């Protein structure tokens, strides 16, 4: 409960609560955590400082914090089938930074998916640390938006990167981790799978897992995993010994057995101080919830909803990149409706449908006003919406995009969105 004397803060939080309750949250990287996750995130655990790792802290009074962190690690190991987990990274970008710090030296050659073709900033984009402090080579998709594994293989053989990042923020198809591992390891490169977007789908068994193929796996804990805004780094091998004397990465073969140690030392003391214990507890709760039959059904429904939504949008004249989706995400070219991605985002937001503008492969427009939008089904599915609602939502999206300058139509769609949302409430017990 927020102190009602702070009227401005109370007003703003309540406005955001209303926004989330009344509209369609369709940004593919967003979701709703459970009320139990909210509770532990808002708990007294935020009061404790815990530099170090369980059993090796630099502060006293961490007996129960140690147990919570170990519980989170145990849940993650079981859920994903790995032998080592670090749950301390503050978010996805710091987690990826820790991997570079652990396995590379400044100036080493690295490879990742180009941001404008669906990749992430931390996979080597030029304005990010990963593109500034490392020699970054970027791969793209083919003309239809699919990963071209043959082209990637040729690039790896030619460039000989030390580390290859795979995973994406705007790629709607199954990623062949086994093939990418073959490509990387044939050239003595580390393969790092960033599954931030698809972690919940992997946990739910509706997307292949990189475990057994990638040397390191990073993920955020929100998005499809439906946890707080945190991150994890996972790998397999001997449990880490952060006090072990390893000065630097010697080479691919020599260092593979030391990956757990290198990762832990990169996170702390390499890049971070004390972990956020309230977030660790939220991650623990989310992992507990993800290891259930209910969550597996939820993951299946996310994919089913996305498939139906994609088909309905395509049937109504929009161009879907790759022609469809295998996961939670749909990348749409709005050009056929003579509208830009920015115009689409703004007009849909007026109708209480939240999406984000996004570049499409081989986009001829500026990244600040691209040709596409990116949408997803995790949050809608969390609310309980299914195939029937996806058909309705597709019709509403098309109606807005075809009439993006007509305020009366936008208001009409807004009213319909509110009506649907009332049937699928979130946080019934939460009031500020």
Residue identified by tokens 């793209």 is 140
Question: Count of domains in the chain?
Answer: 2
Task: Indicate whether 75 and 191 sit together in one domain.
Answer: yes
Structural domain of residue 358, as residue ranges? Answer: 293-423
The Cα 29–Cα 43 span in angstroms is 25
Would you state the structure tokens that stand for residue 135, as one six-digit string? Answer: 């020699």
Is the pLDDT at 88 greater than 60? The verdict is yes
Task: Indicate whether 399 and 330 sit together in one domain.
Answer: yes
Q: What pLDDT score was predicted for residue 244?
A: 43
Q: Are 147 and 179 spatial neighbours (Cβ–Cβ below 8 Å)?
A: no
The arithmetic mean of pLDDT across residues 63-71, rounded, is 98
Is residue 109 in some structural domain? yes
Q: Are 408 and 415 spatial neighbours (Cβ–Cβ below 8 Å)?
A: no
Q: Cα-Cα-Cα-Cα dihedral of 103, 174, 230, 67, to 10°?
A: -80
CATH at residue 49: 3.40.640.10
Q: In this predicted model, what pLDDT tens digit does every residue of 316-362 receive, in sequence order?
A: 999 999 999 999 999 999 999 999 999 999 999 999 999 999 999 99
Q: What pLDDT score was predicted for residue 7?
A: 87
Q: What pLDDT score was predicted for residue 19?
A: 96
Task: Indicate whether 47 and 173 sit together in one domain.
Answer: yes
Task: Indicate whether 53 and 79 sit together in one domain.
Answer: yes
Is residue 386 in some structural domain? yes
Task: Indicate whether 310 and 332 sit together in one domain.
Answer: yes
Distance of CA 415 to the CA centre of its chain: 31
Three-class DSSP category at 427: coil
Task: Indicate whether 43 and 117 sit together in one domain.
Answer: yes
Is residue 354 in some structural domain? yes
Is residue 9 in some structural domain? no
Task: Indicate whether 99 and 165 sit together in one domain.
Answer: yes
Closest CA to 219 of 283, 262, 270: 283
- Tell me which residues are annotated as active site: 49, 51, 194, 220, 223, 229
Is the pLDDT at 254 greater than 60? The verdict is no
Task: Indicate whether 259 and 373 sit together in one domain.
Answer: no
Residue identified by tokens 């195939």 is 387
The domain boundary, picked from 232, 266, 290, lies at 290
Task: Indicate whether 252 and 339 sit together in one domain.
Answer: no
The Cα 105–Cα 247 span in angstroms is 12
The domain boundary, picked from 290, 314, 334, lies at 290
Is the pLDDT at 203 greater than 70? The verdict is yes
- Peptide bond before residue 344 is cis, with ω within 30 degrees of 0: no
The domain boundary, picked from 290, 309, 325, lies at 290
Residue 56: in which H helix or E strand, if any? strand 56-57
Helices of type H across 34-176: 35-41, 63-80, 92-103, 129-132, 149-159
Is residue 2 in some structural domain? no
Q: What pLDDT score was predicted for residue 248?
A: 44
Task: Indicate whether 299 and 231 sit together in one domain.
Answer: no
DSSP-derived secondary structure for 371-413: SEEEEESHHHHHTT--HHHHHHHHHHHHHHHHTTT-HHHHHHH
Is the pLDDT at 228 greater than 70? The verdict is yes
The Cα 127–Cα 98 span in angstroms is 18
Is residue 151 in some structural domain? yes
Is the pLDDT at 253 greater than 80? The verdict is no
Is residue 123 in some structural domain? yes
Task: Indicate whether 84 and 213 sit together in one domain.
Answer: yes
Q: What pLDDT score was predicted for residue 4?
A: 72
CATH at residue 385: 3.90.1150.10
Is the pLDDT at 99 greater than 70? The verdict is yes
Is residue 233 in some structural domain? yes
> Per residue in 36-73, is it b (16+ CB within 10 Å) or e — as a string?
ebbebbeeebeebebebbeeebeeeebeebbebbebbb
Q: In this predicted model, what pLDDT tens digit does every residue of 152-184 receive, in sequence order?
A: 999 999 999 999 999 999 999 999 999 999 999
Closest CA to 267 of 227, 235, 222, 228: 235
DSSP-derived secondary structure for 354-377: E-EEE--TT--S-TTS-SEEEEES
Task: Indicate whether 243 and 335 sit together in one domain.
Answer: no
The Cα 9–Cα 153 span in angstroms is 53
């Amino acid at each position: 409960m927020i102190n009602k004397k702070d009227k401005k803060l109370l007003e703003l939080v309540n406005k955001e609560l209303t926004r989330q309750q009344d509209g369609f949250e369709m940004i593919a990287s967003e979701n709703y955590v459970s009320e139990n996750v909210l509770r532990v995130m808002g708990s007294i655990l935020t009061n404790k400082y815990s530099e170090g790792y369980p059993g090796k802290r630099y502060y006293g009074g961490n007996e129960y914090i140690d147990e919570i962190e170990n519980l989170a690690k145990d849940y993650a190991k079981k859920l994903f089938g790995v032998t080592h987990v670090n749950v301390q990274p503050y978010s996805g970008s710091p987690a990826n930074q820790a991997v570079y710090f652990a396995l590379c030296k400044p100036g080493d050659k690295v490879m990742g998916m180009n941001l404008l073709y669906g990749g992430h900033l931390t996979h080597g984009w030029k304005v990010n640390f990963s593109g500034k402090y490392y020699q970054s080579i970027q791969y793209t998709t083919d003309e239809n938006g699919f990963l071209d594994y043959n082209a990637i293989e040729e690039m790896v053989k030619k460039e000989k990167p030390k580390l290859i990042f795979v995973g994406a923020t705007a790629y709607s198809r199954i990623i062949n981790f086994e093939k990418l591992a073959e490509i990387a390891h044939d050239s003595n490169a580390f393969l790092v799978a960033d599954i931030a977007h698809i972690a919940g789908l992997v946990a739910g068994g509706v997307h292949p897992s990189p475990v057994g193929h990638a040397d390191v796996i990073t993920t955020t804990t929100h998005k499809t995993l439906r946890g707080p805004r945190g991150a994890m780094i996972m790998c397999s091998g001997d449990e880490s010994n952060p006090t072990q004397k390893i000065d630097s990465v010697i080479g691919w073969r020599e260092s593979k057995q030391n990956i757990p140690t290198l990762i832990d030392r990169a996170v702390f003391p390499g890049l971070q101080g004390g972990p956020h214990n309230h977030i660790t507890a939220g991650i623990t709760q989310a992992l507990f919830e993800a290891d259930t039959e209910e969550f597996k059904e939820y993951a299946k429904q996310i994919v089913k909803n996305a498939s139906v939504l994609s088909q309905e949008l395509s049937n109504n004249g929009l161009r879907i990149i790759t022609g469809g989706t295998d996961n939670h995400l749909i990348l749409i070219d709005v050009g056929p409706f003579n509208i830009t991605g920015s115009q689409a985002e703004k007009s849909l937001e007026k109708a209480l449908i939240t999406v984000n503008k996004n570049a499409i492969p081989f986009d001829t427009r500026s990244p600040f006003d691209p040709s596409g939008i990116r949408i997803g089904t995790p949050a809608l599915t969390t609310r309980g919406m299914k195939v029937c609602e996806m058909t309705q939502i597709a019709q509403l999206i098309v109606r807005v995009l075809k009439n993006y300058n007509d305020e009366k139509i936008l208001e009409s769609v807004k009213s319909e969105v509110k009506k649907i949302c009332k049937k699928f409430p979130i946080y019934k017990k939460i009031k500020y």
